[in-house]
Amino acid sequence: MSDDVVEFKVRFRRRSGRIALAVVAVLALLVAWWAVSGTAAVAQGSAASSGVGHGDDCDYPDEEFWAVYAKDETPVAVQTVRNEGRWPVEVISTRPEAYRFSPVPDDPRYDATFPSDPLLGAPPDDETSDRVTIPPGREASMWIIDPFRPENEYTAGGQSRVNDRTGVETAPVQVWSLGIRRDADVAFYGTLWQSTLTRDSEEFKSELAQLCES
């Protein structure tokens, strides 16, 4: 075997080795990137209001109960969503007809202040968006607008039923972090319920009174 052939084989092996190392390094970088992006998390923030919803005012309230709405009341609630990660994340509602976001306040001191009064209903659509970018450690208001409507005719969008009440306790979202998208659910302050009874009915008043008896 000539010296030229031997030299060619040596160079080919060295080049193949460098390529293999580069591929391994790229794969390791991608795995690390995916793992780091997975540490991004959004969670319930520091403020919440159920608007006209009837809360649990018992001496020993149910921590999982947020509020119940009568059949003839407009279900509108709002809570803040907090970015618990170390870099900005974009949160996108997958049900924009039911869950919408207000912009992050310019001043962090107002993160827990809602831009409008939920007792007056939801803000106009042009004042909210189906997505929001939240800086690290900051909060944005998420409006919950009649979440009891089904997503479509085939699914009820995570709703539950207990007796004559329909309940919902999370908002489905997508979280974009470092260019990677993940599906997630933002937990509510507690479960929101809608009754089949009207506000002025004796049955609904009795239902409210029974909250403290269960």
Tens of pLDDT, residue by residue over 156-210, are 446 766 667 899 999 999 999 877 889 999 999 999 999 999 999 999 999 888 8
Q: What is the model's pLDDT at position 151?
A: 55
Three-state DSSP string of the chain: CCHHHHHHHHHHHHHHHHHHHHHHHHHHHHHHHHHHHCCCCEEEEEEEECCCCECCCCCCCCCCEEEEECCCCCCEEEEEEEECCCCCEEEEECCCCCEEECCCCCCHHHCCCCCCCHHHCCCCHHHCECEEEECCCCEEEEEEECCCCCCECCECCCCEEECCEEEEEEEEEEEEECCEEEEEEEEEEEEEEECCCCCCCHHHHHHHHHHHCC
For the stretch 120-162, pLDDT in tens is 999 999 999 999 999 999 999 999 999 998 754 434 446 766 6
Single pTM value for the model? 0.79
